Amino acid sequence: MTETAQAPGHGPAKRRPKLDPARLRRRHRAERRFQLYGIAALAIATSALLWLLVSIVGRGYGAFVQTHLLLDVHFDPALLGISAEATPEALARADYGAVYKAALRGAFPEVTKRRDRRALYRLLSPGAADDLREALRDDPALLDRRAALWLTASDHVDMLRKGAIDRDTPENARALKNRQIAWLDRLDAAGAVESKFNTRFFSAGASREPELAGVWGAVVGSAFTMLITLLLAFPVGVAAAVYLEEVAPKNRWTDLIEVNINNLAAVPSIVFGLLGLAVFLNLFGVPRSAPLAGGMVLALMSLPTIIIATRAALKAVPSSIREAALGIGASDTQVVSHHVLPLALPGILTGTIIAMAQALGETAPLLMIGMVAFIVDIPTGPVDPATVLPVQIYLWSDMPERAFVEKTSAAIMVLLGFLAVMNAAAIFLRRRFERRW
Amino acid sequence: MSPTALVIAIFALALFGFYLGRRRAFAVAGGRHRALRSRPDYYGAYAALWCVVPAAAVGALWLALQPVIVEELVVAGLPEAKRALPADRMSLLLNDIRNVASGVIAGGARDPDILAAAAHLDRLTRIGHIALFAVGLAIAVAGLGLARLRIAPDFAARDAVERTINMALIVCSSIAILTTLGIVLSLVFESIRFFGQVAFLDFMFGLEWSPQTALRDDQVGSTGAFGAVPLFAGTLLITLIAMLIAVPIGLLSAIYLSDYASEWVRGVVKPAVEILAGIPTVVYGFFAALTVAPQLRSLGEAIGLDVASESALAAGAVMGIMIIPFISSLSDDVMNAVPQALRHGSYALGATNAETVKRVVLPAALPGIFAATLLAVSRAIGETMIVVMAAGLAANLTANPFEAVTTVTVQIVALLIGDQEFDSAKTLAAFALGLVLFCMTLVMNVVALHVVRRYREQYD
């Protein structure tokens, strides 16, 4: 700016700048334009967020309800293949498939051809047998009696009802055939088709049948994985931060550690997966696909975040506290463990929760250590084969069935829900407990 | 007598040891704890540490060595014909034995030798665990006894305990170095084995990538083709698209938020943008594959362009969205670090807000913004889930953003998912790609962090 003021040819006498109104207008237009660019950038960023959330919720909310069909069921011991005085074990093993098939035949007595009957049976999910088993377990008196029960419909019926299968598409390109739709319409007219809250989605493990698939197995797997991650990363991270911030002399070794921590924070997550595969699985023999292995890898990934957050929290504790404690005879370790750490704890916990939230959403390194296996059973411990929520989302997104799109989006909503709760907890902790000195 | 039982037993013993140490300290001090050098709890902690630490160290060593020794014994117990197997067949056989022993495969009509070996393995493992339990417990008790002997009124228990704590702190902080070392060593070792099978130059400069053929011996060129240039090109293309979206949007957002927005707008919009950073990448991948890619495809059809359903554009655009908050918050930091006095000087000369930003703040913040961009590039290169779900698998050497390309990370995942033979070139190639990825990101991170540090010092 000083250069323009002393522009050549003007001389010392003509130092006043020329205020050309046209130029000023141009400059102000540029100013407004620049501001507009900023607003446009923010608008793009927030609308991208909105687009993402709307598209997920729009696809996924349907998965929370599931179509059920009301059928008149006869728990016929002959069909179940058991005697009238069966033990609970025999009841659990009985052939409920035959019962719901008989119920469907009873509702549509005119369907007699084998091929038509098979099409008829496909209106219900194989999970209808589980519905019947539960009904009989809850009320054993139903044996050899008739009852009207709501049974889980198949995924195609569900998709038709939610509008994902179009009635106008030609029959041979449609998953449900004309006669199946006609049967459904008859049931619907009789009030026997209804959407009910999909409890199975929250209580079941993975399944090849979309209507039977649930997130519970993945949620439990995530919980075990997070537990291992927390147990490993929290103590080690806090200890490392305390050492670097409170104890360590400033020398080459601590410099090297610092450089390492900063670099690890930026190493691609998939590289941690390769480390887990080569070291934890192949060298240490940690079981494949287990939350233990996943938790160890994620713990290494979360360490830098926890260390950096803990160091910031420790740094924020004023040195007067330390000096006061030292003054009344505390040792260095006592100063840290009795005074500095408790005061820094809210900040440490905030950082830890954020690190855990990151770890909960992490997928790529877990693919490397075999957590992509198809696992139906709900894991019962950290060495059982398991999968986690993000990996479940990845697996479902690959499934060819139309209904899995809905399930995937719903699983994403569950995952985002967990993350929102964790981040809200972190914000709450920060607002409520963090002290400014 | 599983190792878990030992852990529980030792911890119970340590609790008892704490109590014992305290009581012993009181006893030697004649009940007056002022006669003690340290506070009584430290004597308890001292005893507990002597109980746990040696036993835990021996136990860990035991558990690490036992499988190796047991395996040797099992192999030695195998019939002559089986012992003469080559190394790779032998490892398969051992795997079978382990699986049978742990009940993964129900041993039906199986080789009797394997069944016998599995029983042998099972028996040896059980004996080992019982012995471990006995030895571990003995060491814990011995440690306790030693600590009890050492406790005396003028014994500095606190110093001893604090020395142990400091050792533990040092060990914990060294884990960061061990992790880096582990990454480097595992990547380098596997890569060296890979380059034993595929020439380094063929890998770095080859134009053909088709690892799928590597497992089929009957095919011509059964080693497959491992020219990684198409992968590098695909990675760069997607990264470039992501940066073209993220850098302008992120930078302009940061400028608006720091220099224009009112407090209220800042309080609402800044967290909203940061939510983008908190969304897991698998969600972005799903969004890219199921929402953005079809939209781009139909948009392309509408204007007569042929857009592949796994186009680089879709993956790159979504990755760009993911990186926006990364750029915006980092550049916000560096622009805030520019001293207020520089801005005020500019205003005093009559510059408008935009002129101040463009001519004073941005030039001053440029190194920091460059570093932020470098960090963002390194993140884009290493990003996995978006490209796994939205980019293609076929190696395609093209600069056309509407075509499908593949990336380094996609290929690592593709090579390592599913059943793998650990020695095949196909599996090892993943580690070589990982090494390239690690080196590229490492260089960028080091440069970026260095620039940021230098730059901070400049204005501090």
pLDDT of residue B317: 94
A37 contact residues in B (CB cutoff 8 A): 252, 256
> Which pTM value belongs to this model?
0.88
Q: Looking at per-residue confidence, does A236 or A6 come out higher? A: A236
Q: Which residues contact A319 (CB under 8 A, 6 or more apart)?
A: none
Whether pLDDT at B418 is above 70: no
Identity of the residue in B253, B286, B409 whose CB atom sits nearest the CB atom of A270: B409
Residue B251 has pLDDT above 90, yes or no: yes
Q: For residue A14, name the pLDDT band (cuts at 50, 70, 90).
A: low
- B43 vs B80, higher pLDDT: B43
Comparing CB atoms, the residue among B175, B253, B269 nearest residue A236 is B175
pLDDT at A10 over 70: no
Check pLDDT > 50 for residue A2: no
Q: Is the Cβ of B256 closer than 8 Å to some Cβ of chain A?
A: yes
Average pLDDT over every residue of B109-128 = 80
A-chain CB neighbours of B412 within 8 Å are 270, 274, 368
For the cut 90, the answer to whether the pLDDT of residue A52 exceeds it is yes
Ranges A35-44, A167-176, A370-379, B414-423: which has the least confidence: B414-423
Residues 49 through 88 of chain B touching chain A, CB cutoff 8 Å: 67
What whole-number distance in Å separates Cα of residue B142 and Cα of residue A149? 67
Q: Do A243 and B272 touch (CB under 8 A)?
A: no
Tens of pLDDT, residues A242-288: 999 988 888 888 888 888 898 898 899 999 999 999 899 888 878 88
Nearest-CA distance B216 → chain A (Å): 23
Q: Is the pLDDT at B270 greater than 60, yes or no?
A: yes
Residue A3 has a pLDDT of 47
Residue of A38, A244, A278 lying closest to B256 (CB–CB): A38
Q: What pLDDT was estimated at residue B223?
A: 54
- Joined together, the tokens standing for residue A123 give 């209106």
Could you say which of A235, A264, A368 has the minimum Cβ distance to residue B416?
A368
Residue B423 pLDDT > 70: no
- C-beta of residue B46 within 8 angstroms of C-beta of residue B21: yes
Q: Is the pLDDT of residue B59 over 70?
A: yes
CA distance A319 to chain B (A): 21
- In the prediction, which pLDDT does A390 show? 95
Using pLDDT thresholds of 50, 70 and 90, give the confidence band for residue B187. Answer: very high
The answer, yes or no, to whether residue A197 has pLDDT greater than 70, is: yes
- pLDDT tens digits, one per residue of B311-336: 899 999 999 999 999 999 888 888 88
SS3 A113: coil
Of the candidates B186, B257, B384, the beta carbon closest to that of A269 is on B384
* Environment class of B422 (CB within 10 Å of its CB; exposed 0-12, middle 13-18, buried 19+): middle
CB proximity under 8 Å: B 180-239 to A: 180, 182-183, 186-187, 189-190
Tell me if chain B has a CB within 8 Å of the CB of A275.
Answer: yes
**Sorting pLDDT into bands at 50, 70 and 90, what band is B426?**
confident
Give rounded-to-5 percent helix, strand, coil for chain B: 80, 0, 20
Chain A residue with CA closest to B358: the answer is: A34
- Give percent of chain A with pLDDT exceeding 90: 44
The number of helix segments (H) and strand segments (E) in chain B equals 18, 2
pLDDT of A16 over the 50 cut: yes
Q: What is residue A413's predicted lDDT score, i.e. its pLDDT? A: 95
Report pLDDT digits (tens) over B330-343.
888 888 888 889 99
Q: Are B411 and B433 in contact (CB under 8 A)?
A: yes
* pLDDT of res. A15: 67
**A308 in reach of chain B (CB within 8 A):** no
Give the model's pLDDT for residue B86: 75
User: What backbone torsions phi and psi does residue A33 show, to the nearest 5 degrees?
Assistant: -60, -45
What is the bridge-based pairing of β-strands A146-152 and B209-210? unpaired
In this predicted structure, the answer to whether residue B376 has a pLDDT above a threshold of 90 is yes
Residue of A nearest to B184 (CA): A275
- The confidence score (pLDDT) of residue B49 equals 92
CA distance B254 to chain A (A): 8
Q: CB within 8 A of A160, min separation 6: which ones?
A: A167, A176, A181, A184
Chain A partners of B287 at a C-beta cutoff of 8 Å?
A: 52, 55-56
Q: How confident is the model at residue B103 (pLDDT cuts 50, 70, 90)?
A: low
B283, B378, B385 ranked by CB distance to A266: nearest: B378
Q: Are A45 and B379 inside 8 Å of each other by CB?
A: no
Testing the interface with A: which of B7, B172, B413 to mutate, by most A Cβ within 10 A?
Answer: B172
Question: At residue A5, does pLDDT exceed 50?
Answer: no
> Which residue does chain A place closest to B387, by CA atoms?
A364
Q: Based on DSSP, count helices (H) and strands (E) in chain A, helices before strands.
A: 20, 3
Rounded to a whole number, what is the distance in Å from the CA of B56 to chain A's nearest CA? 16
